[in-house]
Structure 1
Amino acid sequence: MLPVRPELVGQEPYGAPQLDVPVRLNVNENPFPLPPVVVDAVTEATRGLAAGLNRYPDRDAVALRRRLAGYLGHGLDERHIWAANGSNEVMTHLLQAFAGPGRRVLTFTPTYSMYPEYARNTWSDYVTLPRCEDFSIDLDAFEAAVGQEMPHVVIVTTPNNPTGTATPLEVIARILEITENGEASAMVIVDEAYQEFARPGTASALDLLEDNPRLVVTRTMSKAFGFAGGRLGYLAAAPEVVDVCRVVRLPYHLSAVTQAVASAAVDHADVLMGQVAELRAQRDRMEAELRGMGLEVAESDANFVLFGRFEDRHAVWADLLERGVLIREVGPPGWLRVSAGTPEETDAFLRAMSEIVPDAVLMDTAVMTDEAAAQVNRSNA
């Protein structure tokens, strides 16, 4: 046998099903292809650097970080921005820097299923606190958990995945206050992968950056930018946070191609953001029509909708797949998640659901789920 780390024995790699079906609404991608003007810009950027691929790229991606700072605004510059291969690597850099052996990461479930793997891969303890029945954060329970667990890193996902729930700015501000404890203060990471899809007026944690050096806001180009294949995530934080990420990153972690095509995409952010309004409209349409079918729907500020609650959610998932529609079986028991798609994809999904729902058995929502009733859970990762 191979001398594999014990905690990795028998583990399966992360990944949603990748099935060839007519309608794929399972991984929260932007369903629209890049507009021709962006395709041309990306092609030209790649062609322009091809002759120089014998040289290593800028290991700190300064030009790209400067563009991302300009996109975010808030008085930021490249010193406040770090970029990596997707927000996955950004989060790994942060846990390498601020978590690790003997340190704890705390987050609020249900949430993104990769967080425990980030913790495991950095030998960090992983602690979870259940969200309220409406998927909001219980600040009193959080304050008690901080006193008990003394986390070194707290992750707040807003809009949350898989629920779509946005966390109000005043709640994030209170989390920063609760985790202020002198030298033992925790870093607070606010994962805003879906922030561009939030309804108008929804504040970003970027508003709190200037006065909170322990705050980190992470973003991605995979969703609103429609750049999932480009693999580019980034963070905004105090320059000191960026400096320590530079310490733990691998040399030349962003290829010259990645930097060039991502820069071209950021330069056309206004064109790419034109698709966001259409995806919001499809999300809102799905919310309304699913509620009209008698289903429970979590209010979403993301590009997806969590709905249910079914006694046998897998049966509903399988019935949709039989009709050529792939969604995600994720989240608390009884719930399913569907990504916002094109109008035609939304038509196909809602048509299939109208055929399935009359025969589906709904869960008795008066019965507390195990997830909702859970107390603070800890696993060593």
Structure 2
Amino acid sequence: MSDDAIPAVLPLRNDLVGETPYGAPQLDVPVCLNVNENPYAPSDAVADSIARRVRDIATMLNRYPDREHIELRKAFARYLAGESGVSLPFEQLWGANGSNEIMLQLFQAFGGPGRTALGCDPTYSMYPEYARDTFTTWRVVHRRDDFTLDVNATVDAIIRTRPSLVVITSPNNPTGTPLPMDQLAILLDACRKAGVEGAAEGTHPVLVVDEAYIEFRDPGTPSALTMLAGHENLAVSRTMSKAFAFAGARVGYLAASRGIIDAVRIVRMPYHLSALTQAAALAALEHTDELLAQVDHLRRTRGETAHWLATRRYHGRPLRVAESQSNFLLFGGGFEDRERIFDELLKRGVLIRVVGPEGWLRVCMGTDEEMSRFRAALDEVLAIV
């Protein structure tokens, strides 16, 4: 829907005039590599478990669900203890309809008029929209040319702008860049020292680490969860959409201090997680090992694809490939008309994403067959553009 589809007689908010809805293209093509999904569908065993769980609660749908979703929060705690080695009580966990709702709730709780949120671009393109929707000012610090954080510039911006929220994505979207724990420690220290514009004296920024793609990190790489102890202003957002192959279920969750969780509980909508969503998520978490079984293979696919892309040439120059610990790769670095490359790939049945800095494109990892078709199509396109 374009903005001109909204009749002029409707009192649309002034700051929304001319805006268009967020969303990557949803097209019916053979190879969809544009929204960072796990290409391997849940098994029949997982589907059967979900069906049993849903059937068990179906006769109680006349009643509201557990608005605190305590059983699910305990399941998140068990998963994180195994995945990251961090044991948390359920009171330090919170679920929502995808990590998008988690992030929006954080902006609702800690943003607002007179407040600022700070990010490091290029980064996830929804962050400015969370800010807009909550009347929060959005500011960015530019990353370095290799897409790593400019730590000194970020610390300076935290002290200078006095944000209520600092949002860092790790691995970063759309670049795949991880956040080293020593850099996280520096940012946490800066937030501990900084004040917050428009807030009472003695308050400090909340540092949010968005770990939507963290399961795809290289083995041995720690999660920001390991820094939660002793940092009451740290919040770590997760999702089941990516590595869990659960994008259609819309389940995200947050790990943080009890204070942050309680703040989010203030702004949540009543009964925001349906009984059906809770049942499906609990069933999926019973099959954690199976659902994550393809993560190692997708990591290998990422490495192989990165090496292959680096051997391709565009106008006589090797393609640049951003170092990634996610399930996608940002590549190009010098495309003069990336829209044409996107269109030519689409003509060949391959959908990727035009996102990030000019001159770059992003492709997520698909099945072996999908990646083979991507490679063949890109070779054809590079030969003619």
**TM-score, with normalisation over the residues of structure 1?**
0.93
1:61 aligns to what?
69
Structure 1: tracts of 5 or more residues without a match: 361-381
The alignment covers a number of residue pairs equal to 360
Q: How does 1:335-350 map to 2 (within 5 A)?
A: 335-350=360-375
Q: Which of 226, 234, 247 is the equivalent residue of 2:253?
A: 234
Alpha-carbon separation, structure 2, partners of 1:22 and 1:198:
28
Question: Could you give the per-residue CA deviations for residues 20-71 of structure 1, whole angstroms, max 9, x where no partner exists?
Answer: 0000000001111101211110011111111110000000110001000110
1:30 aligns to what?
38
Check whether the contact 2:159–2:190 (CA below 8 A) recurs between aligned residues.
Answer: no
2:284 aligns to what?
265
Matched, 1:10 2:18: yes
Q: Which of 210, 216, 237 is the equivalent residue of 1:218?
A: 237
Check whether the contact 2:122–2:356 (CA below 8 A) recurs between aligned residues.
Answer: yes
Q: Which of 169, 185, 190 is the equivalent residue of 2:209?
A: 190
Check whether the contact 1:163–1:298 (CA below 8 A) recurs between aligned residues.
Answer: yes
Alpha-carbon separation, structure 1, partners of 2:150 and 2:18:
35
Check whether the contact 1:159–1:300 (CA below 8 A) recurs between aligned residues.
Answer: yes
Matched, 1:156 2:168: yes
Q: How does 1:302-381 map to 2 (within 5 A)?
A: 302-309=326-333, 310-360=335-385
1:143 Cα deviation after fit: 2.1
1:72 aligned counterpart, secondary structure: helix
2:178 aligned counterpart, secondary structure: coil
1:11 Cα deviation after fit: 0.8
Check whether the contact 1:86–1:233 (CA below 8 A) recurs between aligned residues.
Answer: yes
1:359 aligned counterpart, secondary structure: coil
2:268 aligns to what?
249
Alpha-carbon separation, structure 1, partners of 2:11 and 2:297:
51
Question: Could you give the per-residue CA deviations for residues 235-276 of structure 1, whole angstroms, max 9, x where no partner exists?
Answer: 101111111111110000000000000011011111111011
1:274 aligns to what?
293
Moved more, 175-184 or 262-271: 175-184
Question: Could you give the per-residue CA deviations for residues 171-193 of structure 1, whole angstroms, max 9, x where no partner exists?
Answer: 01100011113614110000000
1:376 aligns to what?
none
1:128 aligned counterpart, secondary structure: strand
1:147 Cα deviation after fit: 2.6
1:359 Cα deviation after fit: 3.3
Moved more, 172-181 or 317-326: 172-181
Alpha-carbon separation, structure 2, partners of 1:150 and 1:88:
24
Check whether the contact 1:82–1:242 (CA below 8 A) recurs between aligned residues.
Answer: yes
Alpha-carbon separation, structure 1, partners of 2:41 and 2:206:
37
* Amino acid in structure 2 at the alignment position of 1:241: I
Alpha-carbon separation, structure 1, partners of 2:19 and 2:244:
32
Alpha-carbon separation, structure 1, partners of 2:139 and 2:359:
23
1:263 aligned counterpart, secondary structure: helix
Alpha-carbon separation, structure 2, partners of 1:172 and 1:143:
11
Alpha-carbon separation, structure 1, partners of 2:64 and 2:191:
41
Question: Could you give the per-residue CA deviations for residues 136-187 of structure 1, whole angstroms, max 9, x where no partner exists?
Answer: 1111111221232111100010000000000101101100011113614110
Q: Which of 92, 104, 108 is the equivalent residue of 1:92?
A: 104
Alpha-carbon separation, structure 2, partners of 1:237 and 1:184:
17
1:282 Cα deviation after fit: 1.4
2:254 aligned counterpart, secondary structure: strand
**TM-score, with normalisation over the residues of structure 2?**
0.92
CA RMSD of aligned residues (A): 0.9
Structure 2: tracts of 5 or more residues without a match: 1-8, 196-201, 313-317
* Amino acid in structure 1 at the alignment position of 2:371: T
1:306 aligned counterpart, secondary structure: strand
Q: Which has the higher contact order (CA 8 A, sep 6+)?
A: 1
% identical equivalent positions? 51
1:133 aligns to what?
145
Alpha-carbon separation, structure 1, partners of 2:231 and 2:80:
17
Alpha-carbon separation, structure 2, partners of 1:222 and 1:267:
16
> Deviating runs (4+, > 3 A) in structure 1?
none
Check whether the contact 1:70–1:77 (CA below 8 A) recurs between aligned residues.
Answer: no
2:50 aligns to what?
42
Check whether the contact 1:164–1:306 (CA below 8 A) recurs between aligned residues.
Answer: yes
Q: How does 1:163-174 map to 2 (within 5 A)?
A: 163-174=175-186
* Amino acid in structure 2 at the alignment position of 1:82: W
1:196 aligned counterpart, secondary structure: helix
